[in-house]
Every structure is written in structure tokens, then in C-alpha cells.
Structure 1
């Protein structure tokens, strides 16, 4: 494994375990068993490492948001559940970023710019994805531009803040935390789903 890759993976683990805002480059070098000079040879500061990790997050998100090839209606419904799960797993993988989003952006204007560009791209992809699921009979059409923006903002806020919320409730967030988030997001989507899709998803809300 190349040194730059090892630094990124080590930083991701350390940021997720602790708080990225509290981890220093010396902490990172110590955890990777390398000299600070070697780390600085590859990345000039911690902010650059955070930005590189965010670029990976953005790339992986865009891959998930790309509509899949045409499938049967039942497979499209499960594709929606898989889509939500894959997004949440990605949030879990890069949980430090969503947990510390405001602070990280505040100290790094370039990261803030990248984040805004990412949101704009996600808004465009959401419209494409919605049309895809309407054609498949999974979702209902949304004619109002205001309603579409409202739904998009609601989902973005919920998805990006669920880690913060559940960390205040669950001492050690885990896979069960991700399952809770999926259930909440499906509930938010229910009014926008076709009746057939709503009936198919009812199983997720049964008391266990």
C-alpha cells in the first residue's frame, strides 16, 4: 500500500474514533508509526487530508446516486431500500465528517466550497433519481418545485445529522444505529411513494 493511501486510511480510522478537530498531525504520525516529516512530505496539513477524504466521500456518493439499469417494479422497490442503505453505510464509513461538519467547514474555506458544490450536484441527481423512480411506479410525481426542494432539504438534513443525534442517544453507535436511520428516512418518504410501494415497505415498521 502506498504511503499516501496508508495516511488517508489511518486518518479516517483515527478521525472516526476520536474527533478530527482534536487529532493533530503529530497524533496521526504517531498512530501510523511514521515521522511527522514523512507525513508532511505527502500532505502539508490536516486540512488537506480532510479534503482528500471528503473528495472520496463525494465520489462514492455520486456512484451510489447514479440510477441503475431498468429493472422490474419489485426490484426497483428493493433498489430504493438498497440505495438508502448504501448511503447510510457511506455516512457510517465517513462518520467523522457528518459529526463535525460545521466545525470542519468553518476552519477550511476550501472544504466549505467543495461541500457546497457537492450539495448542488446532489440536488441535480435527486431530480434525476426521482424521475427514474416515478417512471418505475415506485414514487409519485412531485409537480411543485417548492415541494421538491423541501423534500430534498429534509432528506439531506436528516441523513447528514443522524450520526450526531444518535451519538447523543446511543453511547456507542453501531449497525443498529444505521438501521434506525433507515427506518426514519423511509417514514419521511412514505407520503411520496406509490400505494403499492408503501404496502411493500410496511414490513419495515412492524413492531419487533
Structure 2
């Protein structure tokens, strides 16, 4: 692995484990047993590292929430979307925990974030509309984008909500699976008679993962 990539992955690990505000470039360099000068050869500052992590975030959003092709939706398609949601929250949890502060410090990153979120809204609206057409959701077509935006809002602020509404100081996989289950509640509220058993199976699946996330 190239040194630049090592710095990115180590930074992501440290930010997630200890919080981005508590980690400096010196911490990252020490974690990698390199001099600060070597780190600064690859990155100008911590914000520069965060922008590179954001590259990964954008790439995952693009690949994880594409509309499915090849016939009607299956439970495997739905699990794929919910798993992608969980992975995004877990892999980039430091960003969700401190989103307002991170974006306030970097205007260019904020512009990139807003653009990425608009793309997510567009893709997720397309996915929800396809699920609606396939008979899984009972919702008017002109309300689909609002539903997608509501789900996006819940996902975006789930981590910060948990950190402010409970005694939890760290985010666990159990907490994130509970967030996935809350999103499933929204799907169940709009489910059709034929899709209710499928969403019930999904609920059981993610409840089991929440109780035993290491499985």
C-alpha cells in the first residue's frame, strides 16, 4: 500500500475510534511511526486528509445506491440497500458525528458534500420509485422524493442524535443497526399488503444483527 493510502486509512481508523476533533496530524504520524514531515509531504493539513476520505465516501454513495436492474425487486436487492446504508454509517461514523463542524471549517468540502447529497437524493428517489412500481410501497409518485429526503435526514442525523440523547460516548454497530431498523419502520408504514411479510423478514434479519453484530 502506498504511503498516501496508509495515511488515509489510518486517519479514518483514528477519527472513527477517537473522534476527529481529538486527533491531530501528529497523532496520525505517530500511529504510523512516521515523522510529521513525511505526512506533510503527502497532505498539507488534516482538512486535506478529510477531503481524501471524502473521496471514498462519495465513491461508496455512488456505488451503493444505484437503481437495480433486471426485473422486479427482490429481498436481496433490499438487503443490499440496507447493508450499504449500514456500511456508510459505520465506515464514516466520525463524519456523521461531527458533520456541522467539519463542513463549517471547509467551504469547498461543504460544496462537495451538498452536491453528493443531492445526487444521493436523486438516486434514492429513483430506487424508491422503482420499489413503488414493483408493488412494495403504497405512496403517490409525487411524494416519493419527500419520502427519500425524510429517510436521508434520519440516516444523516442518527449518530449525532444518539450521541446527544443518551449516555453513549461511542458509536457501536448495535446503535447503527437500530438506525437501520428505524428506517425499516418507515418502509413498513408505507408497505403494501403483499410486501408486509418481506419487510417483516427484513426486520427480523436486522434485529438479529443488532443483537449479535459480530456474527
TM-score by length of 2: 0.85
What is the distance in 2 between the residues matched to 1:195 and 1:51?
45
Equivalent pairs counted in the alignment come to 204
Q: 1:152-191 to 2 correspondence within 5 Å?
A: 152-168=148-164, 169=166, 170-191=168-189
Q: Is the CA contact 1:15–1:23 (under 8 Å) kept in the aligned structure 2? A: yes
Q: 1:17-166 to 2 correspondence within 5 Å?
A: 17-71=17-71, 73=73, 76-144=74-142, 147-166=143-162
Q: Give the secondary structure class of the aligned counterpart of 2:21.
A: coil
| Higher relative contact order, structure no. (Cα contacts within 8 Å, ≥ 6 residues apart) | 1
Q: Is the CA contact 2:138–2:191 (under 8 Å) kept in the aligned structure 1? A: yes
5+ residue gaps, structure 1, are none
5+ residue gaps, structure 2, are 209-215
Q: Is the CA contact 1:183–1:205 (under 8 Å) kept in the aligned structure 2? A: no
- Equivalent in the alignment of 1:197: 195
Q: Give the secondary structure class of the aligned counterpart of 1:195.
A: coil
Larger displacement relative to structure 2 (19-28 or 92-101): 19-28
Q: Is the CA contact 2:128–2:148 (under 8 Å) kept in the aligned structure 1? A: no
- Equivalent in the alignment of 2:211: none
Larger displacement relative to structure 2 (147-156 or 34-43): 147-156
RMSD: 2.2
TM-score by length of 1: 0.88
What is the distance in 1 between the residues matched to 2:145 and 2:128?
12
What is the distance in 1 between the residues matched to 2:36 and 2:159?
31
| 1:97-124 Cα shifts (integer Å, max 9, x gaps) | 1111100000010110011000111121
Could you list the runs of 4 or more consecutive aligned residues of structure 1 that deviate by over 4 angstroms after TM superposition? 205-208
